[in-house]
Amino acid sequence: MKKLTFLLLFLVSFTFTACSSNDNKGNNGSANTDGQVNKLTAESFQKLIWDYKANPRDFVFKGDQPCIIDFYADWCRPCKMVAPIMDELSKEYQGKVRIYKVNTDEQRELAGLFNISSIPAVMFVPKNGKPQMSVGAMQKPAYLELIRNVLVVK
């Protein structure tokens, strides 16, 4: 009986450890070069993507690679379906496309800047040209097509 209790406690503690995520992973505001999806704040967005305070009228991309920005919320089920796809894309396009995420509950300024009223909303930012927004959860092939057509990455 003691062995069974120990085993059960071990499995329960392992489950909690395995299911918890490290939201600070890649959350230093730097550009992701390691195939990770990084969180953006308003401050890091201005440094890495577009300084909308200095140049509010014209979108001037500051990045050196095209990027994808996933606007999400922790409570959003469709957002939770998109997150693993973004993780996969970040690894597959490492060194070609940077992938970021913005928590709309925490970063209301950014959500308001892009009039995000429905999530998930995914913005595709080419190195040259205007960003394009996709709203709603999609399957991975649809995101791959947008990467090829909007970001022009093969």
* Active-site amino acid positions: 76, 79
Half-sphere exposure of residue 54: CA atoms within 13 angstroms, side-chain side:
10
Residue (of 147, 154, 95) closest to 126 by Cα position: 147
In angstroms, the CA 70 to CA 60 distance is 19
In angstroms, the CA 154 to CA 144 distance is 9
